A and B are shown apart, each in its own frame.
Chain A
Amino acid sequence: GDSVTQMEGPVTLSEEAFLTINCTYTATGYPSLFWYVQYPGEGLQLLLKATKADDKGSNKGFEATYRKETTSFHLEKGSVQVSDSAVYFCALRPNQAGTALIFGKGTTLSVSS
């Protein structure tokens, strides 16, 4: 079945460092891809999404490009801040009606000043 694999954390960075969180997927067809972020004690919030190959989703300085050839959707940010400390979830939604999101296990990011 369809699945999402994320790099395991925690990822610990200093402020202003470059961030990459790897995400690969297995799916038939062309799923939509999402990154969600969960701040401590809160629900998940959509960070960015891409719905077709070569699309780039971006928000708040974060970017991810839908790479069909490598079945990847890696999350990047050029300069992280302490406020970016959170759990990041990669997810896919199969390209058919009536399906729910399939999530990766999440990657914890901790940024120190």
Chain B
Amino acid sequence: DAGVIQSPRHEVTEMGQEVTLRCKLISGHNSLFWYRQTMMRGLELLIYFNNNVPIDDSGMPEDRFSAKMPNASFSTLKIQPSEPRDSAVYFCASSLSSGPYDTQYFGPGTRLTVL
């Protein structure tokens, strides 16, 4: 199994530009999570999908952030316009289902730098 795939691995952009992060779930998984990791705030859940439907988006910082699942195996996280404070490592994770015992499998992350 290829595991959770994220692209790009690194992204450097300038303030005001649109950024799109991509994630491919593990085949057969139906829950998808986006996290953000910074030194100051640690790991924060941004949004959580189950069966392509957003379940909890309370962690999305503001309207500049949006996430979609156009199909069952793929998700995008978009930031428009980007700001320097968005610089962080963004992880996606997938799990087999939304059950409390299911393990979340993480991708390698996208390191975003906004200048």
Residues of A within 8 A of B (CB): 31-32, 34, 36, 42-46, 49, 51, 89, 93-106
Contact = CB atoms under 8 A, between A and B. Distances in A.
17 contacts: A34-B103, A43-B106, A43-B108, A46-B103, A89-B43, A97-B100, A98-B55, A98-B56, A99-B98, A99-B100, A101-B33, A101-B45, A101-B104, A103-B42, A104-B42, A106-B42, A106-B43
A97 B101 contact: no
- Could you tell me the dominant secondary structure of chain A's interface residues? loop
Give the top 6 A-B pairs by smallest Cβ distance, nearest first: A43-B106, A44-B106, A105-B42, A103-B43, A43-B108, A100-B48
A43 B111 CA distance: 11
Contacts of A42: 108-109
Contacts of A44: 43, 91, 93, 106
A102 B98 CA distance: 14
B98 to A, nearest CB: 5
Contacts of B109: 42-43
Interface of B: 4, 33, 42-43, 45, 48, 50, 55-56, 91, 93, 98-109
B106 A45 contact: yes
A106 B43 CA distance: 9
B91 to A, nearest CB: 6
Nearest to A43: B106
Contacts of A95: 100
Contacts of B99: 97
B35 to A, nearest CB: 8
A98 B98 contact: yes
Nearest to B48: A100
A94 B45 CA distance: 14
B106 A49 contact: no
